[in-house]
Amino acid sequence: MNRVFLHIGSNQGDRLRNLKLAASELKATVGPILQFSRIFETAAWGVRDQPDFLNQALELETALDPLGLLDTVLGIELEMGRVRIQKWGQRLIDIDVLYYGDVIWESDQLTLPHPHLHERNFVLAPLLDIAPELVHPRLKKTTRELKALCNDALPALPFRAEE
């Protein structure tokens, strides 16, 4: 089994429900979820004029190879109703492969580790929650170190669902 870290995010519809549904689908198709981060709320990154996102990091075990994992998460996004209209635009669900073990991989379809994870608080805050000492195989820095070095000014705040 391979240890993988994924990031899920949503800023359309019932954002919390979307994250829960994505996690359920990931568990059913990718493999057991070992850890869930807290859920964080952040302003949109890239294209700012859109609703805030809820974001979460997950650690899973999978027997899928990297491209099989990518195909599976893209299938979940499609099944949940994601439509790709604008880069960094609004989305019902977004599932990114952050790490696939210590694999360093570059292809037209997939780059591992995720090429921008170290630049984004909305990814690093949830990842720090579950894997503070995880070492980025290319940058040779822990999640804690990457978070401290990150220049992203957008805060990622723990989400508190309304009672």
Active-site residue 94, yes or no? Answer: yes
Active-site residue 91, yes or no? Answer: yes
Which pLDDT score is estimated for 152? 93
Active-site residue 108, yes or no? Answer: no
Which pLDDT score is estimated for 56? 98
Average pLDDT over residues 28-45: 95
pTM: 0.94
**Does a structural domain hold residue 163?**
no
- For position 25, which CATH number holds? 3.30.70.560
Domains: count for the chain:
1
Catalytic residue of the set 3, 38, 71, 96 = 96
Which pLDDT score is estimated for 82? 73
Q: What is the 3-state secondary structure (H, E, C) of the chain?
A: CEEEEEEEEECCCCHHHHHHHHHHHHHHHCCCEEEECCCEEECCCCCCCCCCEEEEEEEEEECCCHHHHHHHHHHHHHHHCCCCCCCCCCCCCEEEEEEECCCCEECCCCEECCCCHHHCHHHHHHHHHHCCCCECCCCCCEHHHHHHHCCCCCCEEECCCCC
108-149: pLDDT as tens digits: 999 999 999 999 999 999 999 999 999 999 999 999 999 999
Per-residue pLDDT at 163 exceeds 70:
no
**Does a structural domain hold residue 41?**
yes
Which pLDDT score is estimated for 1? 95
Active-site residue 96, yes or no? Answer: yes
